[in-house]
Amino acid sequence: MGTFVLKTGKNGEFYFNLKAGNGQVILSSEGYTSESGRQNGIASVRENAVLDARYDRKTSSNGKPYFTLKASNGQVIGTSELYESEAGRENGITSVKKNAPDAQVKSE
């Protein structure tokens, strides 16, 4: 089962990482100015994770595949790590779809 891990940055902003059952980070949030904003971000990930159309499959400047997850308004709510292959990126998307909807939330 996945876990949303809550973090506060040195800049005072609020973040979360979605970790798979094996502890690997599969999605990282943008920074939020409030804890309630972060909670809304988690709710948005839960809602949008199951919709394939919400994933943008991208390639970084160094040629590595990654993806972003967007809310219905088009705003990015999470970004993946960089993968070695497009197949790895697809596995990451599958993992977010599987883990996000009922992931528990905990502070780090």
Tell me the pLDDT tens digit for each residue of 21-52.
999 999 999 999 999 999 999 999 999 999 99
The H or E element spanning position 14 is strand 14-19
What pLDDT, on the 0 to 100 scale, is given for residue 50? 96
Q: How many folded domains does the chain comprise?
A: 1
Q: Is the predicted pLDDT of residue 106 greater than 90, yes or no?
A: yes
Classify strands 25-28 and 65-70 as parallel, antiparallel or unpaired: unpaired
**pLDDT, tens digit (0-9, with 9 covering 90-100), for 56-101:** 999 999 999 999 999 999 999 999 999 999 999 999 999 999 999 9
Residue 88: other Cβ atoms inside 10 A: 15
- CA 65 to chain CA mean position, Å: 15
CATH number of the domain enclosing 65: 2.30.29.80
3-state SS record for 15-64: EEEEECCCCCEEEECCCECCHHHHHHHHHHHHHHCCCHHHEEEEECCCCC
Q: Is the predicted pLDDT of residue 104 greater than 90, yes or no?
A: yes
Q: Is the predicted pLDDT of residue 108 greater than 80, yes or no?
A: no
* Domain assignment of residue 102, given as a range: 3-107
